[in-house]
Amino acid sequence: MLSDKARIFVQGGAGGNGCLSFRREAHVPRGGPDGGDGGRGGEVLLLCDPSLRDLQAFKRKAHWKATRARHGEGSLRHGAAGDDLVVRVPPGTQARLEDGTVYDLTVAGQRVTVARGGLGGRGNKHFATATRQAPRFAERGLPGDEGWIELQLKLLADVGLVGLPNAGKSSLLGRLTRAAPKVGDYPFTTLEPVLGTLDADDRQLVLADIPGLIEGASGAGLGHEFLAHVERTRLLVHVLDLAPLDGSDPEENFATIEAELGAYDDRLAGLPRILALSKADLVPPADAERAATRWRERVGSVIVTSAATGLGLEQLTAELLRTVPLEIAAEESVIEIEPLAEHRTFRPGSDRGFTVERTGAHAFSVSGPRVERLLQRFDVENEEAAAHVEHRLDRMGVIRALAEQGFEAGDEVEIAGEVFELDPAS
């Protein structure tokens, strides 16, 4: 069974910790700090692999995690970076991240990074200054990005066969290509999209048999999922039964399918169409020709076909090869670029990048990506590291913002889950 949807959890590797080390060798006085840096964690990438056909592999494994980096070591030895994790997906896969970013993987070899690895921490060598010549702290590595990704497979077909259930799409696909779709004399025989390849002398076309649509299909349910597979096609073949078994009116059936296509996506409504009048072997030839003449006045390209006798199949094949372009035309977009002024002055914005909130009589909370990342980097139980963090908070304007809220020396401050006392005057 075709698996065209999956939900996976990806996590980049954590960065390695910086090393706290001092050079100690015989006859080498004042060796000084020599802690190396931690490596960067591995990334999680999606790779478009043409050898894959669906997303079945993700039903068995939903969690994908890159390896963490190695920690730094003494003698200025840096930790090795983590190995990247490559997750292979079939062409036509659309990946939607939690932040709303969408990636379309349509070309073999195309790859995108969906979870970056964490940065490595710096060793104590980086924190040596003229007044702090023997720093006894180092940075921690940061965790990698993580989150859930929605994967959806939208078949990369040149031509999509659409129509009501039991209109004859599967039989037509079976005669035009070497595909072997399930064929039956009852509606909804096809429950999943089926691909077939139409071979010509110098090219190939991929045809997709989209399961039968019904009125209201574009709104919800399986119909909506099936329509997603025709989004990337460049030509639609509307298969219309000349003699429906249920006695329905072909014109009403035609209007139903066209309405569903337009309701789902305006692009589908604007795609080129070929109307294939199917099951011509079940009606008199004169009736089939009169119907074709009547439909040509409305839709243009109309071909009378019969999968049973082969009527019109060569003509339909020739029309498909003629209509579908050899190359996908690149969309031309005109981007108007504002001319640069001769001189521009950039000033810091008013947004501090953090917020300060009083949580008690002598307690405050500070939140914001920069300050939280700073606390993740250092062990505030280490006195030297705590002093360094306090100095950085002062430079970032956090101490001043706390003072504006009534902060006094010795009050507790919570940042990124860590609670500690600040004493700027000390």
Residues 115 and 259 in one domain: no
Give the domain-ending residue among 323, 339, 366.
323
**Calpha distance 7→169 (Å, rounded):** 31
Q: Where in the sequence is the domain holding 402, given as residue range(s)?
A: 355-421
Residues 306 and 366 in one domain: no
Segment among 46-50, 226-230, 235-239, 325-329 with least mean pLDDT = 325-329
**Calpha distance 132→388 (Å, rounded):** 11
Query: Quick check: is 28 in a domain?
Result: yes
Q: Is the CB of residue 117 less than 8 Å from the CB of residue 66?
A: yes
CATH code where residue 398 lies: 3.30.300.350
pTM over 0.75: no
Residues 19 and 62 in one domain: yes
Residues 135 and 191 in one domain: no
Tallying the residues shown for the chain, one arrives at 426
Per-residue model confidence (pLDDT) at position 46: 96
Question: CA angle, corner 55, sides to 49 and 59, nearest 5?
Answer: 135
Per-residue model confidence (pLDDT) at position 337: 36
Residues 149 and 166 in one domain: no
Q: Are strands 146-153 and 5-11 parallel, antiparallel or unpaired?
A: antiparallel
Residues 170 and 312 in one domain: yes
Residues 111 and 205 in one domain: no
Residues 119 and 250 in one domain: no
Q: How many domains does the chain have?
A: 3
Per-residue model confidence (pLDDT) at position 333: 34
- DSSP label at residue 126: G
Query: Quick check: is 309 in a domain?
Result: yes
User: Which of the four pLDDT bands, split at 50, 70 and 90, describes residue 41?
Assistant: very high
DSSP string of 395-406? HHTHHHHHHHTT
Cβ neighbours of residue 111 closer than 8 Å, sequence gap 6 or more: 45, 46, 47, 48, 86, 105
Would you say residue 232 has pLDDT above 80?
no
Residues 144 and 223 in one domain: no
CATH code where residue 81 lies: 2.70.210.12
Q: Residue 137's closest CA among 424, 381, 400, 408?
A: 381
- 15 compared with 420, residue with greater pLDDT: 15
Query: Quick check: is 347 in a domain?
Result: no
Segment among 18-22, 110-114, 204-208 with least mean pLDDT = 204-208
Residues 137 and 166 in one domain: no
Structure tokens at 16: 């390695």
Per-residue model confidence (pLDDT) at position 353: 80
CATH code where residue 231 lies: 3.40.50.300
**Calpha distance 308→359 (Å, rounded):** 78
Query: Quick check: is 339 in a domain?
Result: no
**Calpha distance 171→186 (Å, rounded):** 13
Over residues 165-201, the pLDDT tens digits come to: 888 888 888 888 866 544 444 344 444 667 777 877 7
Q: Which amino acid is at 246?
A: D
Mean pLDDT, residues 262-283:
85
Per-residue model confidence (pLDDT) at position 338: 46
Over residues 57-91, the pLDDT tens digits come to: 898 899 999 999 999 999 999 999 999 999 999 88
Q: Is the CB of residue 209 less than 8 Å from the CB of residue 190?
A: yes
Over residues 327-360, the pLDDT tens digits come to: 554 443 333 334 445 555 555 554 568 888 888 8
Query: Which single residue is written with the structure tokens 């640069």?
Result: 340
Query: Quick check: is 2 in a domain?
Result: yes
Question: Helix, strand, or coil here: 293?
Answer: helix
Query: Quick check: is 336 in a domain?
Result: no
Over pLDDT 90: what percentage of the chain? 35
Q: Are strands 235-241 and 159-162 parallel, antiparallel or unpaired?
A: parallel
Range of 131-140, 211-220, 222-231 with top mean pLDDT = 131-140
**Calpha distance 25→31 (Å, rounded):** 8
Query: Quick check: is 338 in a domain?
Result: no
Question: Helix, strand, or coil here: 196?
Answer: strand
Residues 66 and 143 in one domain: yes
**Calpha distance 51→55 (Å, rounded):** 12
Residues 133 and 171 in one domain: no
Give the domain-ending residue among 153, 184, 204.
153
